[in-house]
A and B are shown apart, each in its own frame.
Chain A
């Protein structure tokens, strides 16, 4: 009896997961709670979902919400690539050369534990309130995480496949592309995942402290005006952008690069 029951359960949850009903229901539930809460509170400090959506709509058409979103998105993307490239290079070297690892490891720990705010303030003080400083400061906050993840990846490289590549005299480039990179793919995926979310949070701080535009600047401005509709509007709009990146870019890319596995992740 219990076996049959378990089977029906998995069968149903599998069919359900093909259409993403559960996430949709979950979000709808949240919006409902928000709506009821706002109705009860009747306060300028807790606007309902309709008011916020109206604000987003108006600001996109007549205001500069889209421009600000674009500027912030560009900063996120730029910092992300700078952090990933520099971080993975250092991580791979540290993972494969114990001597380098011993020298750099204390600095890695320092950087991991240095508050983002300290890095941002010092960067602005020393290098000026420029776009390059902003992006560099954000990247510097993310680099240690990438290093740690990719260092693990480099340590986990399979020596048997490495030996195969050497026995067959594969060229360094071919070996990197066909033997090393695919083994690092899960580590890149993990670093990117945690990377995008961390970076966008830090980008807002950087914008708040020293940029004349972007979502962070707008949030700061509206905080001073106590304009909660605008704060929620900007937040929601950017969260939507990040969700779109996750579902339309990151996940399909991941499915493509792990298609060789028996079961897709």
Chain B
């Protein structure tokens, strides 16, 4: 009886794994179909989208989080918070790393801040940069937690230069799994266009994001930025910034979102020799909140 069960278990396992393989292969074929034949976007065509249902949002978030982990060299920032008594790697300097964070336009998601990295952080040391004696304050006699913490990577680093491309697979899957993940589109566009120099690919990705999320103001702004700064195409940039402005005026956005669009429009009109319009948008920029404003 048991032998029969174990054999049937093996068979079932083979069936499950085989099915998994078929699903993966099917997704590859479907993806090829998308790349080769279709320009309608993932939303309509993608196999993963169709097969996973609502669970895709969960996997999309997981992929997005994994991209963040990859950016930090396999280190998940939450661990840092615990070990370093509540300090956040995103916002504070610390003894191990001395990172300086230059935030761009108020974005605090991982793709939208630039990091200057002190070489001290790369100082070779066991246990992910810390000396073994300093493992999270666990005494050596408490041997198992001590070993566990010493084996755990807990140094805060950031990928640089060519290495930054390593985050792309997870951003790719994040948007494939959830075509409404606007943040993933926006950050994917940022890494591709502004960090890795793949401007055309970034524009293609953001355009796809706009097709799937026609009311996402950020995506219009991002694509406009790429046209303005990377392609030096003010006319096209202006089209996207104007669209962003229309969405801005029809929805609830904070002054930071408004400021960035006003500044972008101001810069565009400055380029097209329309100083009055440029000054007009420039004048709309507000640094301080108005009374009663959240």
Instruction: Decide whether A and B assemble into one complex.
Output: no
